[in-house]
Chains A and B, each alone.
Chain A
Amino acid sequence: MGTENTMHYLFAAYTAIWVILAVYLFSIQTREKKLHEELQNLRQLLERQSAKR
């Protein structure tokens, strides 16, 4: 078990952690953007509907 080998595994582990967290945060962010858009559209739609009446 050479030191060089160990470092590879250590690097792999920390990379894995960052990748997992980054993917999750990215997915949340994407969903947030989509929802923000949808909320805007819905609010505009409701305003137009109440303006018609």
Chain B
Amino acid sequence: MDQSRHKLFDSVLGGLLLIGMVVALYMAFLGAPREQTMGDLQRIFYFHVPSGMMGLAAFIVNCYASLMYLIKKDRKWDSLALSAAEVGVVFFTIVLVTGPIWAKPVWFVWWTWSPRLTSSLVLWMLYLAYMLVRNYVPDPERRAMMSAVFAIVAIVDAPIVFFSIRWWRDMHPSAMLETGGLSPAMWPAFLTCIAAFLILLIYLIRRRYFLESARLEAERLARLADLAR
């Protein structure tokens, strides 16, 4: 994509993002009805859950990019994998921070070992581990290789983790339930927020990807400069 079209796409995306976020906020606070049992606190849901969904989407992108790197060995896929992983960690951080803030007033505990929240924690840890692996492998090609392998291990692990925790939870039930129930009036707000977060996801991954490409370019030029000396 040449420079001018690139810049145009970026601006359009940025504009959409801004509009999307404002609309999402409106819908979450004013467009959605007040929930019966939890009151206005439930509105956290509209940003908490889409964050989780987009985090998951980011990790799937990371898995795909990692696989592509292993097959094609093109560094571009590695850059995409890194970008997706980082953005995924950001989204899951949001989930893990808003989760307890929601849980405290409702269930009077900061943490519930519910399957979704616990799996989010494990997934978050897995991708932090991914970033650690990247951090500590000095050679760029090996780094891409090692992290790609780990990413695939992580994504295969994720569903097994979820089912294990869900089963464990069934064995040791607690009084709190994960609210899944959405009344029909809540769906427009929910869908709007999902759309807004999707735009956010694409925007962040794109931006991080171009940053990484620029970094690779700088590396390349630095090597050329060294050679020419």
Chain A residues engaging chain B, CB cutoff 8 angstroms? 1, 3, 5-7, 9-10, 12-14, 16-17, 20-21, 24-25, 28, 31-32, 35-36, 38-39, 42-43, 45-46, 49-50
Contacts and interface: CB of A to CB of B under 8 A. Distances in A.
A49 B43 CA distance: 60
A42 B211 contact: no
A6 B34 CA distance: 13
Mostly, the B contact residues are: helix
B197 to A, nearest CB: 10
B214 interface: yes
B211 A35 contact: yes
A45 B225 contact: yes
Mostly, the A contact residues are: helix
Given A28-B208, A42-B221, A46-B224, A13 B102 contact: yes
Contacts of B118: none
Contacts of B221: 39, 42-43, 46
B47 A20 contact: no
